[in-house]
Structure 1
Amino acid sequence: MTSKSARWSDLVPRVASAVVMLAAGGLDIWAGGVWFEALAVIASAVMMWELARMTRGEGFDASILLGVLTFVVLVLVIWVPGIWILPLMLLPSLIGTMAPRRDVVAFAPYALVILLTAIALVLIRNSHGVIGLTWLIAVVVASDVMGYFAGRMLGGPKFWPKVSPKKTWSGTVAGWIGAALVGACFWHFAGFGTDILWISPLIAFAGQLGDIAESAIKRRAGVKDASSLIPGHGGLMDRFDALAFAGVLAVAMNIWLHFLPVALSDEAPPLPVEITE
């Protein structure tokens, strides 16, 4: 049986790293514009490097080159008006499959998700301001925090033991409740529409699936963490896997429901590429 101290042994480094990330990320989110765009591009390039390392095969290691390619592609998509977006977004997935790769099935779709994540986050910040991105991050963080504590305190049946052995149904449901509470706060205090009450748990569920998807990739690769860049959290993929799926779904749903408020006129403009919302 796992001892109580061992169960909570990762809490201190997790909290310390989370505080640093929230402080640095919060400043970039508040600044917006090129500062936040640069953060999204660099983070995505690092995540691509982590993904390529986990799924590489024998022979030439193209991980760094794929990270650089992701950086270049995102710079072009975000800052060059009228760029032909879709072929560029597929480049890392296509080129990555040409290198020695032991897990093409995991690499190719997740590589595209990484690029879509950067675009989604930049779109939300530029088109819907600090409040839109704050809501998304709050939903993901609340779901993660509630799930972490409920899962360890309540335990119970596993959600998907073959893929993510630590995730429990109690933690999963607690994550939905936490997201719903966040939605209620933004509805009551920030003027969001009532749709946010059911959209928030759905976005949280997308984030939980993102966590499970990354866990599956790590299990297939036989590694515990995507990398060791962040104490207590592993790599950027380990920390932002939930935000990836949540952000992409949020943008897709907003195109349909228009539930996110429009940014103030003095905030950053949308991306130069033609994406209809």
Structure 2
Amino acid sequence: MSAPGTWRDLPARFGSAVVMAVVGGAALGVGGVWFAALVVAVTAAMVWELARMSAPDRPQEALALAALAALVLAGVLALHSPFALALLLLPGLASLLRARLHPLVAASYASALMLSGYAMVALREGAGLATILWLVAVVIASDLAGYFVGRSIGGPKFWPAISPKKTWSGTVAGWLGAAAVGAGFVLAGQGPWVLVAISPLVGFAGQLGDIMESWIKRRAGVKDSSALIPGHGGALDRFDALTGAVLAVLVLGLFGAMPGIGG
């Protein structure tokens, strides 16, 4: 059973979710430079939060790394060249110039954030709106199912040493929620039945992205990556799962295992 106060953050969480859905949905629908600008801003915010957690005594450096992330990602998106993709490693490499908490982890995670930001825009432009809608829906369904079922039922922890709040009940509920999204797209004529099997895999990758961020926060001794989003914490707290899911789709696409979605 859920403990008293478990749902205390729900109003703020819901309100922030509505705002994010409106802003993100509008940018996603319009696409082009507006969606790219939103992705660049969110990616820079996540790099800023990561830099603050890994070197909390140097806030100005965190801002500089965020600015570098924004400039690099915007530049790579504008160049439209595969040879420019290596530039996405620059913020992570720059973070290694000075000592910080778990430097290789921080640098690798920063690079993953940059790559996922680029992939989000590339998917919107190349694969189309339906693919992005499926991806976002899988992450949201997995997160909501895990949140409500995990807090309502509780039970054994999934990985208590890294993420003490994650339960097996919430994890499995997330997989089922992702599968339901895949089934919905198939029934709507937007994809083949293999999408029902791929959706939980992508949802699980999102859960691993969330767990990875939880590991970083525990090592940094913080509850949230920042306080940018009421009820959700920071941009990393909200979009860590999307980062993992996007990278999973990228890997599936590289191996030719990603089915076509949409018309």
Q: TM-score scaled to structure 1, two decimals?
A: 0.90
Larger RCO: Structure 1 or Structure 2 (Cα < 8 Å, ≥ 6 residues apart)? Answer: 1
Q: Structure 1, unaligned stretches of length 5 or more?
A: 265-277
- Closer, same or farther: CA 81–174 of 1 in aligned 2, 3 Å: closer
Q: Which runs of 4+ in 1 moved over 6 A?
A: none
On the 8 A contact 1:176/1:204 being kept in 2, the answer is yes
Name 2:259's counterpart in structure 1: 259
C-alpha contact (below 8 Å) 2:2/2:153 kept by paired residues: no
Matched, 1:184 2:183: yes
| 1:197 Cα offset (Å) | 0.9
Matches within 5 A, 1:1-277: 3-4=3-4, 6-56=5-55, 58=57, 61-82=60-81, 84-255=83-254, 256-261=256-261
The answer to whether the Cα contact below 8 Å between 2:205 and 2:241 also exists between their aligned partners in 1 is yes
Residue by residue, what CA displacement relative to the aligned partner does 1:171-217 show, whole Å, maximum 9, x if unpaired?
00000000000000001103301210110000000000000000000
The alignment of Structure 1 onto Structure 2 pairs a total of residues equal to 262
Question: Root-mean-square deviation (CA), in Å?
Answer: 1.7
Residue type at the aligned position of 2:27: D
* Separation (CA, whole Å) in 1 of partners of 2:225 and 2:97: 21
One-letter amino acid of the structure 1 residue matched with residue 61 of structure 2 = A
For 1:131 and 1:81, the matched residues in 2 are separated by 22
What do residues 69-90 of structure 1 show as CA deviations (whole Å, max 9, x unaligned)? 1011111110014363243111
Q: 1:55 touches 1:102 (CA, 8 Å); kept in 2? A: yes
Q: Partners in 2 of 1:236 and 1:253 — Cα distance? A: 25
TM-score, normalised with respect to structure 2: 0.95
Q: How far, CA to CA, are the matches of 2:101 and 2:192 in structure 1? A: 46
Partner of 1:7: helix, strand, or coil? coil
Q: Distance in 1 between matches of 2:2 and 2:109?
A: 33
Query: What stretches of structure 2 of length at least 5 have no aligned partner?
Result: none
Change in 2 beyond 3 A, CA 1:31/1:86: closer
8 Å contact kept, 2:141–2:177: yes
1-side partners of 2:82 and 2:182: how far apart?
Answer: 35
Tell me which residue corresponds to 1:274.
none
Contact 2:135 2:246 in 1 (8 A): yes
**Shift in CA distance, 74/9, structure 1 to aligned 2, threshold 3 Å:** same
Write the letter of the residue equivalent to 2:229: I
